[in-house]
């Protein structure tokens, strides 16, 4: 009986979200839909690009302004990151996201945190790379796979998609003054907005996107890295190292990330397309990234 009641409640909530979404989209005068130019996936988007870029800039300033964050000034760490970022950004401006990439006000920072193996790119082109990713990436080609992936999250508006879903859920549940909806007016962004953008309220906590977003960023990210002149095969080596470092990682059904094995298998499927792009470009040397923390 409890299962039947739960299913009925679920259907009512789904209907409520749908109705609320239609009302909300009509109220703010947005079409609410976009098709990903690479995968053909339909996306529900009820935030504007300008709003997203403002929130991205605010989140970036918020992170940089945290007294616990150390922005690296070491040229050994900064120069390779900026070199890779410049090539990835130029590839983005040639991509199917070119119009969006040309709107972004790109900025790149290296955060000195040898224990955080990650990076992020926020709406508007605000990029941060944590030094802890260097041992995983190994070379600038490996870093290009990481940065291509993160830049695609921003260009494909994955954070905006999550914000839109949050707004519709809040509308369906009758929540007013939602943190996500009010994010662009607040001097400090709340946890809901930061989470939607993929960054935790606590610095160093980087939150996963959904599996479909992660896979989409993996796919387009290696195409972008290849177009930038970096060997896309380095993406497989990167995830193999990530798998070894995590001891095999969490079971896929327990995580919003695809498992390392799934990611590697998908990358192998997409590799022929990526290599066809790479072979038309002048290859960039896979310079070794600096050692950190004795590694």
Where in the sequence numbering do the catalytic residues fall? 150
d(CA 138, CA 129): 14
> Are 142 and 110 spatial neighbours (Cβ–Cβ below 8 Å)?
no
Distance, C-alpha 229 to centroid of its chain: 21
Full DSSP string of 224-274? HHHHTT--TTHHHHHHHHHHHHTTT-S-GGG-SSPPHHHHHHHHHHHHHHH
d(CA 230, CA 221): 11
Query: How many other CB atoms are there within 10 angstroms of residue 234's CB atom?
Result: 22
d(CA 103, CA 88): 15
d(CA 17, CA 70): 42
- The H-or-E segment that residue 121 falls in is strand 119-122
């Amino acid at each position: 009986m409890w299962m039947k009641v739960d299913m009925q409640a679920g259907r009512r909530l789904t209907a409520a979200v749908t109705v609320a979404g239609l009302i909300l989209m009509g109220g703010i005068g947005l079409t609410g839909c976009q098709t990903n130019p690479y995968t053909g996936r339909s996306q529900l988007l009820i935030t504007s690009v300008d709003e997203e870029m403002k929130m991205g800039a605010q989140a970036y300033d918020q992170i940089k302004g945290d007294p616990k964050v150390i922005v690296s000034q070491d040229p050994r760490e900064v120069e390779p990151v900026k070199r890779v970022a410049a090539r990835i950004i130029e590839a983005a401006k040639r991509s199917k996201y070119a119009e969006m990439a040309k709107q972004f006000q790109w900025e790149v920072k290296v955060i000195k945190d040898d224990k955080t193996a990650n990076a992020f790119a926020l709406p508007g082109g605000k990029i941060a790379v944590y030094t802890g990713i260097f041992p995983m990436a190994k070379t600038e080609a490996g870093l290009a796979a990481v940065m291509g992936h993160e830049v695609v999250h921003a260009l494909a508006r994955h954070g905006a998609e999550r914000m839109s879903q949050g707004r519709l859920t809040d509308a369906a549940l009758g929540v007013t003054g939602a943190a996500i909806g009010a994010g662009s007016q607040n001097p400090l962004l709340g946890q809901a907005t930061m989470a939607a953008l993929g960054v935790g309220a606590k610095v160093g906590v980087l939150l996963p996107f959904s599996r479909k977003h992660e896979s989409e960023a993996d796919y387009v990210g290696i195409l972008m890295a290849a177009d930038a002149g970096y060997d896309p095969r380095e993406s497989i080596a990167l995830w193999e190292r990530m798998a070894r470092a995590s001891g095999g990682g969490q079971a896929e059904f327990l995580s919003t990330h695809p498992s390392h094995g799934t990611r590697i298998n998908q990358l192998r499927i997409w590799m022929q397309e990526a290599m066809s792009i790479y072979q038309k470009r002048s290859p960039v040397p896979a310079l070794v990234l600096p050692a950190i923390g004795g590694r």
